Amino acid sequence: MKRIDWNGLGDADRCRALARPEKRADEQLRERVRNIVNDVRARGWRALSEIALELDGQEPRRVEVRTMASAARRRLDPQQVDAVEFAAAQIRKFHRASVPSDFSLETAPGLTVTKTWRPIDRVGLYVPGGKTPLFSSLLMLAIPARAAGVRQIVTVTPPRTGGGLDDLVALAADLAGIDEVWTVGGAQAIAALAFGAGAIPAVDKICGPGNGWVAEAKRLVTSMPGGPAIDLPAGPSELLVIADESSDARLVAADLLSQAEHDPDAQVLLVTPSFAVADTVDAEIAERVRTLPRREIVEASLGSCRVILVADLHEAIEVANLYAPEHLSLAVEPAQALVAKIRNAGAVFAGPHAAETFGDYLAGSSHVLPTDGAARAWSGISVYTFLKAMSVQAVTREGAESLSQRAALLARMESLEAHALAADARLELMA
């Protein structure tokens, strides 16, 4: 792992030290995604079927979940079923408890303003597929959407050889209250969710992680007239670990490797004031990586791994806030004192016992988090992702009488006479 002395760098070099791997979406990919999206938008189901047949080898299919989930329960090991059910219960518990309450305040005599929450009508969920379908992402998306009260959830996932759904995906869908899943993936699936195609309806918001094609398609459709909202910028995974002499190098190495195995473009960083910790973690990684089934992916990811040497933990926190990681592990004792100083992170794992893996599967909060520095302004998936807030203003006759004159004056100060007259009209009715 490349080592960097933070205090030996100028501002420009510090920016380069914290740079993500080169952008995953090159111009050719962007152009291809643009063509796919425009084609599906223009020709609907016909275009979607043609593209899916070309890229996935089969047309989109609607799969009924209940039958497949029943068969999956029979085939899966009971311990597997129990683990997925436990994870679903933890996620459901957390998100149900985090549904916000309405709030009302009388801001002036006779004027009450209420902030009230409403679920989004129709949401599209993208569940990554491939060699290892991410059933956990389905739980992390659908359960908070259900907790928020979304009326219709449209779920898509890339098709698998032989059709149907992976057993674990079918089980997760059933536990999350999903009745049907469309087997279509990639940019074409995002386009179908955005603008509708055949029986796949257009949705109001698209949520879920994916590869570069999916990320680029989400970025594109939300910028188009009439396009949907999207959840957040979600690209390849990243983890920054802060460690010092109190840290267990074995745990630090294990966490770094757990993120590196996601994707060759995943990025892991170690920030520490200790040369000894850096040496020990480096040795642990070298020892462990040889035995991993996804060794090639891990080694590709480790190619962009960095160890940043800092003066102390205070400076380590500064580095973390600048980087704004998707995942931040505080592998130090005590960790809670540092949490208050963290401003920018998708999820924080406080203390050596808080494995990032717990957050990926069963802690309760969603693992769909902002990447590429978006944690400076974005939050991870939660019930708030699937809600919108409205303000409601209720005014009594007495309130209108006391407010109208000032409101009219304020409007005329901005040369908006019709606004002023609307306020005056309330006074005239009371005369």
Output the six-digit token pair for 392.
Answer: 């409601």
Three-state DSSP class for 238? strand
Rg (CA), the chain: 25
Q: Which of 95, 327, 356, 367 is catalytic?
A: 327
Contact yes or no for 339/348 (Cβ under 8 A): yes
Contact yes or no for 72/172 (Cβ under 8 A): no
Output the six-digit token pair for 15.
Answer: 């920016």
| Cβ neighbour number for residue 84 with a 10 Å cutoff | 23
**What is the spatial distance between Cα 63 and Cα 208, in angstroms, rounded to a whole number?**
19
**What is the spatial distance between Cα 215 and Cα 67, in angstroms, rounded to a whole number?**
31
**What is the spatial distance between Cα 167 and Cα 72, in angstroms, rounded to a whole number?**
5
Output the six-digit token pair for 183.
Answer: 């087997």
| Cβ neighbour number for residue 129 with a 10 Å cutoff | 23
**What is the spatial distance between Cα 374 and Cα 20, in angstroms, rounded to a whole number?**
12
Nearest to 362 by CA among 133, 172, 142, 140: 140
Which of left, alpha, beta for 226 (phi over 0: left; psi -120 to 50: alpha)?
left
Four-residue CA torsion sign, 145, 147, 151, 156: positive
Contact yes or no for 257/288 (Cβ under 8 A): yes
**What is the spatial distance between Cα 151 and Cα 124, in angstroms, rounded to a whole number?**
11
| Catalytic annotation present for 284 | no
Locate all alpha helices (DSSP H) within 116-248, ordered by sequence. 135-148, 167-175, 186-195, 212-223
CA distances from 68 to 86, 138, 139, 163, 166 (A): 20, 16, 17, 11, 9
Contact yes or no for 333/253 (Cβ under 8 A): no
Q: Which of 238, 261, 326, 356 is catalytic?
A: 326
| Catalytic annotation present for 327 | yes
Looking only at the bridges linking them, the beta strands covering 2-5 and 306-309 are parallel
Round to the nearest angstrom and report the end-to-end CA distance of the chain. Answer: 79
Exposed, middle or buried, 224 (CB in 10 Å: 0-12/13-18/19+)? Answer: middle
DSSP-assigned letter for residue 101: P
Active site residues per annotation: 326-327
